[in-house]
Amino acid sequence: MTTRQVTYDRAYGSLVRTATQSGIEVKPVYTPQDIADIDYERDIGLPGQYPFTRGIYPEMYRNRLWLKAFIVCYATPEETNRAFKEYIAAGQTGLRILTDTTTLSGVDPDHPLARYDIMCNGNPTFALTEYETMLDGIPLEDVDYESANSTPSGSFFTAVFLVGLVEKMGCDIKRLRGTNINDPIQAFILYGTPEFPMDLARRVTTDLIEFGAKYTPRWHPSTPDGYNMRDAGIDTFRELAFCIANIIQYYGDAIKERGVKLDDFRPMVFSTSAESDFFETACKFRALRRMWARIAKERLGATKPDSMKCRIAIRTAANSMYPQKPINNTARVAYQILGAVLGGVQSIDPSGIDEVFGEPSPESRIFELDIQHIIAHELNVPLVADPLAGSYYVEWLTKRIEEGTWKILNEIDAQGGMWAALKSGWLKQQFDIPTINLYKEIEEGKRLIVGVNSFKGEDGAISRAIIDSAYKVPADPKRFGAIDKVKRLRATRDERKVVDSLNELYRATRDGENIVRPAIEAAKAYATVGEMVGAIRMASGYCYDPYEMVQTPPFMKHLEPSANR
């Protein structure tokens, strides 16, 4: 018998970095001298007290666990409705909605460019009919609904359809609660948004904030989307700075132009990412709360303690889910959730362990709920508020993240704010550099990813099962059924009501009025997303179709500029 000789290397697998994921150089050990300039009352304080570094509630999770809120949007509203009910029974406590790429682009399923985007990333919610089916049998009041639609039109119409559905069901829109991931500045950087150019995106965002302050104070109309920005490759400093600067921009515009007050809303919400760097992730959330408390009070005029708090919603990092040895993704998701809990967040949306292969499977979703149940009820992590507080390293790292974020915020102020930074091209440059550095580090082995560039191995039976389990987009015949569906809707609805409501939406847009209420009424008349986008665009001096491929519908021809000369 021959034996295979192996070489023993005790140093194999030793550390290759002395810095955090975002490049913060750290020492081997921290002492009281490293936090000598931190004042406990001023900078840390008690949970539930300004500046809320340690959390926004005195006992944190003892009385109020985080929301278990992940995206539920399969190919059809019927499938999505069944999934919502299954996941609610398994412990989901926040309902997160995502529409397909077609709807996010502001067009209907029968648009020439939509054909192969139908049902990608979610179901085509082109009209209120789809929301009626998707949320059938699910309470609409006092339930936390989160919109994951971050394009300007996608965010706008999620709010419009939800409010319209609540009213059609005879419920009180003041009891609609949740968050609207509405961040047009990041959408311009990451996706491009031809349906609502910059002036329109700014207009509809300000309209949503004004409407929300008056009529839906428990529904946050504009939540910055740090998660997708982080997923595009930026670091912690930029993620926090861009989120905070976007809130200053959007709500600052509404305060100056519409007389809105920050005190009109529930505590602000930030949508962020939970990364694999455990301590950097936990400290990031502590720094965000402290910074926001001071900005809300000193810059945006908040007078109520609640208005100085911020609720943090996270999604675990999809860019840390790898196709190689996907069983490792289970550990990544679990530790990212744990880091978020130790950081004191209010809502957790785990990426699917099989998400890199398709939409997360139902079993993957139940597993991600069970991880959170285990952390809450078996690990007993929530027993104490902010258990990491007082660690020399944690307090130093929290302060270091805050300092780096303030530096970038000052640069944004020097640009004249986020809209100006977007127009100048400065903002786009901020995304390019970290992304290039990240992939260079992985390629050169300066950042180890287990199973990808280190500790490689063959996929076993469990990994292969994860690969096979992901939910795949349906075959073309099922997907193209959405085209027939929108055509049937147009043939069966009351066209007079549709025309009247679109006329009013056009008029309000043209006359500079708040367009949220007219859009809600158009939605309740079963106007489609594409038609409402077209009416808003034409009233703003643009052509009906953002891609200039579809003619104005006959019943809207009178709204064309040439028809009004």
Asked if residue 199 and residue 118 are part of one domain, the reply reads yes
Q: Which of 469, 504, 523 is the last residue of a domain?
A: 469
The structure's pTM equals 0.93
For the chain, the average pLDDT equals: 92
Q: Hey, what amino acid is at 479?
A: R
pLDDT (tens digit per residue) in 72-86: 888 889 989 999 999
Phi/psi-derived region of residue 156, left when phi > 0, alpha when psi is between -120 and 50, beta in every other case: alpha
pLDDT (tens digit per residue) in 105-148: 899 999 998 887 887 878 889 999 999 999 999 999 988 898 88
- Structure letter (DSSP) for residue 173: G
Asked if residue 293 and residue 174 are part of one domain, the reply reads yes
Strands 347-349 and 219-223: unpaired
Tell me, yes or no, whether 36 lies in a domain.
no
Burial of 477 (0-12, 13-18, 19+ CB in 10 A): exposed
Asked if residue 173 and residue 101 are part of one domain, the reply reads yes
- In the beta sheet, which residues pair with residue 471? 359
Asked if residue 532 and residue 459 are part of one domain, the reply reads no
Asked if residue 278 and residue 142 are part of one domain, the reply reads yes
Burial of 175 (0-12, 13-18, 19+ CB in 10 A): middle
Note down the domain range covering 525.
495-564
Residue with tokens 């001023």: 42
Q: Supply the CATH number for residue 273's domain.
A: 3.20.20.240
Asked if residue 511 and residue 402 are part of one domain, the reply reads no
Tell me, yes or no, whether 475 lies in a domain.
no
Asked if residue 446 and residue 504 are part of one domain, the reply reads no
Find out whether 296 and 236 touch, Cβ atoms under 8 Å.
no
Tell me, yes or no, whether 46 lies in a domain.
no
Q: Which of 469, 503, 526 is the last residue of a domain?
A: 469
Find out whether 73 and 122 touch, Cβ atoms under 8 Å.
yes
Strand arrangement of the beta sheet that strand 144-147 belongs to = 219-223, 177-181, 144-147, 94-97, 67-71, 347-349, 310-316, 268-274
3-state class of 223 per DSSP? strand
Higher pLDDT, 422 or 4: 422
pLDDT of residue 466: 87
pLDDT of residue 476: 72
Tell me, yes or no, whether 29 lies in a domain.
no
Compute the residue count for the chain.
Answer: 565
Asked if residue 290 and residue 241 are part of one domain, the reply reads yes
Asked if residue 532 and residue 396 are part of one domain, the reply reads no
**What are the structure tokens assigned to 365, written together?**
């979703």
Count of structural domains, the chain: 2
Higher pLDDT, 295 or 144: 295
The Cα-based distances of 378 to 214, 372, 374, 382 in angstroms read: 43, 10, 5, 10
3-state class of 96 per DSSP? strand
Phi, psi angles (nearest 5°) of residue 240: -65, -45
Tell me, yes or no, whether 187 lies in a domain.
yes
Looking at the chain, the whole-number percentage of residues with pLDDT higher than 90 is 69
pLDDT of residue 455: 87
pLDDT (tens digit per residue) in 151-192: 888 899 999 999 999 999 999 999 999 999 899 999 998 887
- Three-state helix/strand/coil letters over 228-270: HHHHCCCCHHHHHHHHHHHHHHHHHHHHHHHCCCHHHCCCEEE
Asked if residue 401 and residue 336 are part of one domain, the reply reads yes
Q: Which of 546, 519, 560, 487 is nearest to 102 (CA)?
A: 546
Asked if residue 537 and residue 423 are part of one domain, the reply reads no
Q: Which of 293, 162, 151 is nearest to 216 (CA)?
A: 162
Asked if residue 363 and residue 509 are part of one domain, the reply reads no
Tell me, yes or no, whether 534 lies in a domain.
yes
